[in-house]
Amino acid sequence: MRRTRIGAGAALAAGALAVTGLAFAPAALAVTPATATITADCGSFGGGEATLTATQNGTAATLTVNSSAITAPIALGEDSISSTLTLVKAGGGTVAFTGTENPAMAAGDPVQVGPLSGTVASGDSLEAFGGSLKMTVFGITITCTATGPQSPGPFVFD
CA dist 95 and 52 (Å) reads: 15
CA dist 137 and 72 (Å) reads: 10
Asked if 70 contacts 45 with a C-beta cutoff of 8 angstroms, the reply is yes
Q: Which fold is adopted by the domain 31-148?
A: Immunoglobulin-like (2.60.40)
C-alpha 157 chain-centroid distance: 11
Rg (CA), the chain: 22
- Confidence tier at 45 by pLDDT (50, 70, 90): confident
pLDDT digits (tens, 9 = 90+) for 73-93: 889 999 999 999 999 999 999
pLDDT digits (tens, 9 = 90+) for 56-71: 999 999 999 999 888 8
pLDDT of residue 15: 41
Query: So where are the chain's domains?
Result: 31-148
pLDDT of residue 17: 35
Which residue blocks in the chain are alpha helix, DSSP H?
2-24
- DSSP tag of 44: G
- Confidence tier at 137 by pLDDT (50, 70, 90): very high
Asked if 80 contacts 137 with a C-beta cutoff of 8 angstroms, the reply is yes
